[in-house]
Amino acid sequence: MSSETKIKSLRAAVVYGGATCQMDQLFNVTIVKSMISAVIKVMLIRASRERYTMAAKYANNSAIQNFIEYLKIPSVQPDVNYDECVNFLKKQAASLALPIKVYEVVPHKPIVVLKWEGIEPKLPSILLNSHMDVVPVFEKSWTYPPFSGHIDEDGKIFARGSQDMKCVGMQYLEAIRKLKQRGVQLQRTVYICFVPDEEIGGHDGMKKFVHTSDFKALNVGFALDEGMASPNEEFIIFNGERSIWQIHVHCPGRPGHGSLLLPDTAGEKLRYVINKFMDLIEQQKKILDSDSKLTIGDVTTVNLTQIYGGVQSNVIPEKLTVVFDIRLAVTVDHNKFESMIKQWCKEAGDGVTYEFEQFNEKVECTKTDNTNPYWVAFKSAVDNLNLKLDRRIFPGGTDSRYVRQVGIPAIGFSPMNNTPVLLHDHDEFLEADVFLRGIDIYEKIIAAVANA
């Protein structure tokens, strides 16, 4: 228990103790209060020292200070200005004596790439990818300002992006710094890539970049990207992702006055469509609940996210639209699934159609067996570190899907265990010691895969 927690308990004891003394008249309340007040003063001093000691502990740690400097850049969606991030990364590249290039497939959407050339640069390279942008914040719900990089008395670093995923980008750089300081030379060239707009789908970032001649010139053989925190001892790795389908189903119908009972209305058709999707949701819940080994990434999820249409409350609308966010499990046959949706629309009534807001094609998972030499090297490194791995399918979407789509194997991994999952949440934090250990882990992994 921290000193501040103990102080709160003592203050509560003053109130309770005072009331008890007054009722029983067994103690001198004034003396009791004075004694507890004195204790509180001592503990306040101790708490202040704890905060100072923790801040001082990391004050001269350049890796922590670089991380905090990066976290302080408010690269928050929407409409991010990436200039500060680019300037920061240019400074990091200079400190590492690494060349840096900034690509703009889309204006004002920079893709920053640092290069550590290997002994055999003709070999397929290693890509270490991370994104610069972060999601919005509700500042009033944060204990500390979300772009402060505040370190509390427990060594927790609070900031948006501390888990998702500025931590990983900095761990790459700091691991390479340590390797270079030890005079290590790697066989393969390593590219450290910082991309924009991942938090809004990566459409103007990695999705377009992988199809450019600049990306092809990197000759990437294997990529690492983000994972997520693990609340237990295991480290989670992701070798695949579900396909994202966001569908608008349009239901036209006969309009009229709200007082009538008309056939073939938009509302009737809408109800049929919604019921079909809701039945699918219940089916997938049962599958997930039936096997404790399954995680959310192993099933198809469907969520109704929007309904729109109509003009006013007493007019039967001529069209209503419902929107579903669907994440297809990697085992789903896409053609069969879309045929099922077509059939539901046909059954709902005349004129019911659908269109995609987002459509991800099926992408094969990265192999995690002896046929993948990069995986063998990765697994060997983590085994030597005695790390326990939990392999999963990523529940959301990352830039790894675009890399895998062009035939490059990719693993999602963020070295954060015994850490609550706080990506996109209030009070996102990462313990400083967890961050530092992650650098050591990446140091071994990067060396292993780059020498595979």
Domain ranges of the chain: 3-59, 62-241+365-450, 243-329+331-359
- Whether the pLDDT of residue 322 is over 80: the answer is yes
- Whether the pLDDT of residue 44 is over 80: the answer is no
- Whether the pLDDT of residue 19 is over 60: the answer is no
Q: Label residue 16 by pLDDT band (50, 70, 90).
A: very low
- Whether the pLDDT of residue 48 is over 90: the answer is no
Q: Does 198 or 48 have the greater pLDDT score?
A: 198
Handedness of CA 163, 98, 382, 411 (dihedral sign): positive
- Whether the pLDDT of residue 7 is over 60: the answer is no
Average pLDDT over residues 166-181: 98
CATH of domain 243-329+331-359: 3.30.70.360
Give the model confidence (pLDDT) of 238-273 as tens digits: 999 999 999 999 999 999 999 999 999 999 999 999
Q: Label residue 392 by pLDDT band (50, 70, 90).
A: very high
Distance CA 4, CA 18 (A): 21
Quote the pLDDT of residue 410: 98
Tell which residue, 94, 107, 377, has the closest CA to residue 221. 377
Residue 307 contacts by C-beta under 8 Å, 6 or more apart in sequence? 270, 320, 321, 322, 323
Annotated catalytic residues are 133, 198
Work out the mean pLDDT of the chain and round it to a whole number: 92
Q: Label residue 56 by pLDDT band (50, 70, 90).
A: confident
Q: Which CATH number fits domain 62-241+365-450: 3.40.50.300, 3.50.50.60, 3.40.1000.10, 3.40.630.10?
A: 3.40.630.10
Distance CA 144, CA 427 (A): 8
Average pLDDT over residues 192-199: 98
